[in-house]
Amino acid sequence: MTRSLFILIALCLVTTLSVSAKALKFAVVPKYYGVFFDQSKNGCQDAAAQIDGVECIYRGPEVASVRTQDQIIVQLINEGIDGIAVAVTQSKFLAENSLKKAQQAGIPIVTYDSDFDALTQAKHEHLRLAYIGTDNFEFGKALGVQLKTLRPNGGTLIIQTGRPDSPNLNLRIMGIRSELSAKTYDAPPGEQLNNDNGWTEVREPFSNFDQLTQAVKQMESVMRGKPTKANSFVAVGGWPQNDADLYRKMIAPYQAKLDNNEVVVVISDAAPHQLTLLKDRLAHINVGQNPYEMGRQAILTLHKIVTQQAYDPVIYTPMKLCTPENYATCGKSSPKVPISD
């Protein structure tokens, strides 16, 4: 072997080793910092710690804002990020701005918790490579099933959501409406219930825009029965309970209404502080998600994509049913949630 050929082979080997040993930085971008999404940070960091040369960067808005989320993604692109997992706040804006730039830069994108809506997904077919999170339509159906167990003959209902244009939340609303009405809808969020199978929504869903104080005030108006009265309240996210002290203070005067099912309360998510509220019978049922697993699977999936391994384009994380009777074990296991009767 000539000396020049040996040098050439050695240089090729060094180049190959440096590429394979390159530190990979994957970003998990939540809708906003909060109790729910911060659990995805833990999953992200734990997964990264188990893979040599992989770093998790968890970065998002302090409060829900699609423009701030978009700016953060642009920052990450400029920093040379190797992959992005994003909880989509608003489909069209992100797809046409920061995520378009990421795709043009060759940065793989996956979504978690909240996927693109159907129109955006159809228009930008190859923008995101995988979705990791709850099956949001089935999650909404699960909320509806639990409401029916407590109020089998139907009733009056108020639904609480975050942003009215949030894709995952609108799927949950459609799931609730489908389960209660036994109807099929063409597109989320479905149609407001009006004496459908015994169920009537007394108004359009409350939108709290991810503001916890607003969420508590909206729920208080239902518990108080003024200015709008309903005998059932379902939150498709955990907002009213995410400031546990504020929630407890608000709902304490209405303990008797809860105890006699004058108002039935079904709330999404099952963080530890929510399970404490459930133990104290300050809600009837919580249907939990698994944000930790979302963050963990997001990193594993991005790593598989970048290293050209086979990966699952859709990973549905498990749900769990939590009641005052099983609160102590609910956080440690994921009992199967019934989806429909």
The architecture CATH gives domain 23-134+291-310: 3-Layer(aba) Sandwich (3.40)
d(CA 264, CA 127): 41
Strand ranges, E, within 80-181: 83-86, 109-112, 130-133, 155-161
- Domain 23-134+291-310 shares a fold with domain 136-288+321-330: yes
- Sign of the CA dihedral 226, 229, 232, 234? negative
pLDDT tens digits, one per residue of 255-270: 999 999 999 999 999 9
Mean pLDDT on 243-247: 97
Listed by start position, the domains of the chain span 23-134+291-310, 136-288+321-330
State the residue for tokens 């944000």: 291
Identity of the residue numbered 212 = L
Residue 289 sits at φ, ψ, to 5 deg, of -110, -170
- Whether the pLDDT of residue 3 is over 90: the answer is no
CB atoms within 10 A of CB 333: 9
Nearest to 131 by CA among 106, 152, 110, 150: 110
| Residue 129 and residue 108 in contact, taking contact as beta carbons nearer than 8 Å | yes
User: Which residues are bridge partners to 155 per DSSP?
Assistant: 199
Q: How confident is the model at residue 35, as a pLDDT?
A: 87
Q: How confident is the model at residue 10, as a pLDDT?
A: 38
Mean pLDDT estimate for the chain: 91
Within a 13 Å sphere around the CA of 141, how many CA atoms are in the beta-carbon half? 16
- pTM of structure: 0.85
Mean pLDDT on 59-63: 95
d(CA 336, CA 287): 11
| Residue 86 and residue 111 in contact, taking contact as beta carbons nearer than 8 Å | yes
Q: How confident is the model at residue 184, as a pLDDT?
A: 97
Within a 13 Å sphere around the CA of 239, how many CA atoms are in the beta-carbon half? 29
Q: How confident is the model at residue 339, as a pLDDT?
A: 36
d(CA 198, CA 156): 9
- Whether the pLDDT of residue 99 is over 50: the answer is yes
Q: How confident is the model at residue 22, as a pLDDT?
A: 66
Mean pLDDT on 320-332: 88
pLDDT tens digits, one per residue of 143-184: 999 999 999 999 999 999 999 999 999 999 999 999 999 999
State the residue for tokens 């992100």: 94
Fold of the domain spanning 136-288+321-330: Rossmann fold (3.40.50)
Q: How confident is the model at residue 332, as a pLDDT?
A: 61
| Residue 82 and residue 28 in contact, taking contact as beta carbons nearer than 8 Å | no
Q: What is the 3-state secondary structure (H, E, C) of 5-48?
A: HHHHHHHHHHHHHHHHCCCEEEEEECCCCCHHHHHHHHHHHHHH
Mean pLDDT on 40-69: 96
- Whether the pLDDT of residue 90 is over 50: the answer is yes
Q: How confident is the model at residue 169, as a pLDDT?
A: 96
Q: How confident is the model at residue 60, as a pLDDT?
A: 97
Nearest to 247 by CA among 229, 231, 233, 230: 233
- Whether the pLDDT of residue 5 is over 50: the answer is no
Residue 131 sits at φ, ψ, to 5 deg, of -120, 135
- Percentage of the chain beyond pLDDT 70 is 90
d(CA 189, CA 164): 9
- Whether the pLDDT of residue 229 is over 70: the answer is yes
Which residues have CB under 8 Å from 331's CB, separation 6+?
A: 270, 272, 275, 322
Identity of the residue numbered 65 = S
pLDDT tens digits, one per residue of 108-125: 999 999 999 999 999 998
